[in-house]
Structures are given as C-alpha cells and as structure tokens.
Amino acid sequence: MVACAHPMNRLATTLLWRYISAHYWNMSFMTALHAAGDAARFGHPIEHTAEVLVVDLLIFSTLLALAAGAITFAARRLWIRHSRRAV
C-alpha cells in the first residue's frame, strides 16, 4: 500500500482497522488479505467481506493521502506568502 507511506495515513488506517476489527471483524489484517483472494479456503461470504474491508482501507488511505497533500500544499503557500510580505 503505497498510500500508507505517510505516518499520519498509516496511523489513521491502523486506527480504522482496529475499530473495524473490534466491532465487525475478528480476523487479523494478514488473514483478511489472504481471505480476500481465497474463496475455497474461507468461503464466499468471508471472502467478499474481506475484499470490501481491504478495498475500503485502500480508498480511505488514498483519500487521507490526498487530504494531507492538500493541507501541506495550502500551508506551504500561506507560509511563502507570509514570508514574502515580511521581507
């Protein structure tokens, strides 16, 4: 997951996974990854749920990366404008 490379995204995704696993899911993350592609071993209902969870985490992580990038971009522009006025 390249989108999880930023520490804040990794933290948010981990917190989301812990919430999901505490309330809706009783398997580990690695088991969910294996279940997402192995219907013969886990069964179709578990495979489908695992696929949905993994895709949701990927989407959530990507949206967080976009938000972090937008916030960083805006803060940098404000900082540059402010430093130009001070000079």
Q: How far is CA 79 from the centre of its chain?
A: 28
- Token readout for 86 is 């001070």
- Helix spans in the chain (H): 7-23, 29-35, 39-42, 44-86
Q: pLDDT tens string for the chain (87 positions)?
A: 444 456 766 777 777 777 777 667 788 878 888 888 888 888 888 888 888 888 888 888 888 888 888 998 999 999 998 888 766
pLDDT at 5: 55
Answer yes or no: are the C-beta atoms of 62 and 2 closer than 8 Å: no
